[in-house]
Chain A
């Protein structure tokens, strides 16, 4: 049913720490691996060894350069992006077949692939580019929050979290329930000022991003006590400089 639930019992989602993400793309590969071998149609690659390889991914890592004002050093931010499991998910309501739905029990947005006609309208409705049409199966693929891992009692308990979170070597990804104010993710968001992406789109995304911690703020505390570095050349170089000036 494409009518969105007014409220979900839990709000499962991810917190992504942009301060710790090193941009290794391990989450991309873990996601592609798990979701190719398990629930739903495999994530295909077309022309994989050809001139123009193209494939479906549920998670992609962008990299951005941020230039602070007053010419401070630029920062490079690696930015993993997957479905944000929005509370007001526009991708769900536009679906003509009911293939897209948001679960009442945990808020996960899923696609029932056998009902998907591959019209692509949900991908158009998503501002984040979270949905991709599979090049082989021609059905819409999206992050399932590894719904086949998190409740899977055949897996050891430490593996019952999304593949991207489990694999992240930097600990930059966190999985939890945003409806619980005391959960790990809620605490992180409160402490670090978690960001909502494109709030002006009115989608109320569940996933949050932790902004990079301020850099180079305390480095100048001892600065004034340091001996100034010579600005003017002295000795032989100073003589050479002056001599060349006079020429």
Chain B
């Protein structure tokens, strides 16, 4: 799949933002006044910024409000509703904490739950697609939510939770790659099933419909730079999980914490780039590619 900048920014930033909000709404860290303001501002900037970035992907962003209508069947619509509900509930909680110093536990807990639910809905936009076997698996959702919470723990300075979540997600990510590599082959979709001609013999693509590319090949048969995938995977594992976890294991300083966050965010962008670039859509089979 084509790794569009807007969607990489959207999934990474809103994941981080909602992860941080989930911790802040549970009173972790127990900040008040202007420090609380800064923490919440960072969280809302990331979550909101990510959501705004997602609209750059749309052909007609001016009609975006229509996307709230089909929550009965569409995960994209549900994601929209959950994001708005989350921002409203956590916004109210944040305002009460910052301006009145009161913490309403139930409101905070609801906000945290909504943060997790929103990230889950985001993950389901991808995990629901049978057409992309690599994504159509529970690891997609668990990793989206896990990475969101790991980032949230890191940003909120919850050292122990962050180390635990980072290392768990690192192992899970490795597992997701390992099993994901063979999932297209295991999906049962191949050139024989795509053309229905497998009974006659071995099917190979002789000629594409047009000599140039098209929307389908640009959007869903993205194979550029996959040759670097292994190197990028290693870099992403180190940057996202290992380096931040190691830095947190050292005696705490703000410099180390800042480097850990920077490394994690950079790693997260790499992870998401790989998430899209490595995903093979079954329509590629019609073009003899994957």
B-binding residues in A (CB < 8 A): 1-3, 18, 28, 52-57, 60-69, 72, 74-77, 79, 81, 90, 92-99, 115-121, 123-129, 132-133, 135, 137-139, 195-202, 209, 211-212
CB proximity of B159 to chain A, nearest CB, Å:
38
CB-based contact A212/B200 at 8 Å: yes
User: In whole angstroms, how far apart are the Cα atoms of A18 and B205 in the complex?
Assistant: 15
CB-based contact B199/A211 at 8 Å: yes
Q: Which residues of B contact A201 (CB under 8 A)?
A: 130-131, 189, 282
Q: Which residues of A contact B210 (CB under 8 A)?
A: 57, 60
Q: B72's closest neighbor in chain A, by CB?
A: A3
Q: Which residues of A contact B203 (CB under 8 A)?
A: 64-66
5 cross-chain CB contacts under 8 A: A56-B215, A65-B206, A116-B60, A117-B60, A124-B132
User: In whole angstroms, how far apart are the Cα atoms of A97 and B69 in the complex?
Assistant: 6
Q: Which residues of A contact B208 (CB under 8 A)?
A: 62
Q: Which residues of B contact A74 (CB under 8 A)?
A: 201
Interface size on B, residues (CB 8 A): 60
Q: A123-B216, A212-B200 are in contact. Are A93 and B283 (CB under 8 A)?
A: no
Quick one: which of B206, B214, B215, B282 contacts A127, CB cutoff 8 A? B282
User: In whole angstroms, how far apart are the Cα atoms of A126 and B282 in the complex?
Assistant: 9
A-B pairs under 8 A by CB, number: 197
Q: A94-B128, A117-B64 are in contact. Are A66 and B189 (CB under 8 A)?
A: no
Determine, out of B73-81, B168-176, B226-234, B266-274, the stretch whose residues face the partner at the interface.
Answer: B73-81
Instruction: Tell me if B209 counts as interface (CB < 8 A to partner A).
Output: yes
Q: Which residues of B contact A95 (CB under 8 A)?
A: 70, 73-74
Q: B208's closest neighbor in chain A, by CB?
A: A62
Q: B80's closest neighbor in chain A, by CB?
A: A96
CB-based contact B66/A97 at 8 Å: yes
User: In whole angstroms, how far apart are the Cα atoms of A117 and B66 in the complex?
Assistant: 8
Determine, out of B33-41, B190-198, B238-246, the stretch whose residues face the partner at the interface.
Answer: B190-198
Q: Which residues of B contact A57 (CB under 8 A)?
A: 209-210, 214
Instruction: Tell me if B84 counts as interface (CB < 8 A to partner A).
Output: no
CB-based contact A68/B200 at 8 Å: yes
Q: B279's closest neighbor in chain A, by CB?
A: A124
Q: Which residues of B contact A132 (CB under 8 A)?
A: 214-216
CB-based contact B60/A64 at 8 Å: no
CB proximity of B167 to chain A, nearest CB, Å:
32
CB proximity of B81 to chain A, nearest CB, Å:
10
Q: A55-B214, A129-B283 are in contact. Are A64 and B58 (CB under 8 A)?
A: no
A-binding residues in B (CB < 8 A): 1, 57-61, 63-64, 66-70, 72-77, 80, 125, 128-132, 187-189, 191, 193-197, 199-210, 212-216, 218-220, 281-283, 286-287
Q: Which residues of A contact B206 (CB under 8 A)?
A: 63-65, 76
User: In whole angstroms, how far apart are the Cα atoms of A135 and B202 in the complex?
Assistant: 35
CB-based contact A200/B189 at 8 Å: yes
CB-based contact B212/A97 at 8 Å: no
CB-based contact B197/A211 at 8 Å: yes
Interface majority SS (helix, strand, loop, mixed), chain A: loop
Q: Which residues of B contact A64 (CB under 8 A)?
A: 191, 195, 197, 203-206
Q: A116's closest neighbor in chain B, by CB?
A: B60
CB-based contact A62/B189 at 8 Å: no
Q: Which residues of B contact A54 (CB under 8 A)?
A: 212-215, 218
Quick one: which of B59, B77, B189 contacts A138, CB cutoff 8 A? B59
Q: A94's closest neighbor in chain B, by CB?
A: B74
CB proximity of A67 to chain B, nearest CB, Å:
5
Q: Which residues of A contact B287 (CB under 8 A)?
A: 62
Q: A2-B70, A64-B206 are in contact. Are A139 and B187 (CB under 8 A)?
A: no
CB-based contact A128/B76 at 8 Å: no
User: In whole angstroms, how far apart are the Cα atoms of A92 and B70 in the complex?
Assistant: 10
Q: Which residues of B contact A28 (CB under 8 A)?
A: 209
CB-based contact A125/B209 at 8 Å: no
CB-based contact A81/B188 at 8 Å: no
Quick one: which of A121, A139, A196 contacts B125, CB cutoff 8 A? A121
CB-based contact B200/A93 at 8 Å: no
CB proximity of B66 to chain A, nearest CB, Å:
4
Quick one: which of A52, A81, A98, A115 contacts B286, CB cutoff 8 A? A81
CB proximity of A62 to chain B, nearest CB, Å:
6
CB proximity of A126 to chain B, nearest CB, Å:
7
User: In whole angstroms, how far apart are the Cα atoms of A94 and B136 in the complex?
Assistant: 14
CB-based contact B201/A90 at 8 Å: no
CB-based contact A2/B207 at 8 Å: no
Quick one: which of A60, A68, A81, A94 contacts B76, CB cutoff 8 A? A94
CB-based contact A66/B197 at 8 Å: yes
Q: Which residues of B contact A126 (CB under 8 A)?
A: 131, 283
Beyond contacts A117-B66, A123-B216: 13 other A-B pairs, Cβ-Cβ < 8 A, are A3-B72, A54-B218, A63-B205, A63-B206, A65-B206, A66-B201, A68-B201, A79-B195, A94-B74, A97-B70, A129-B216, A198-B189, A202-B130
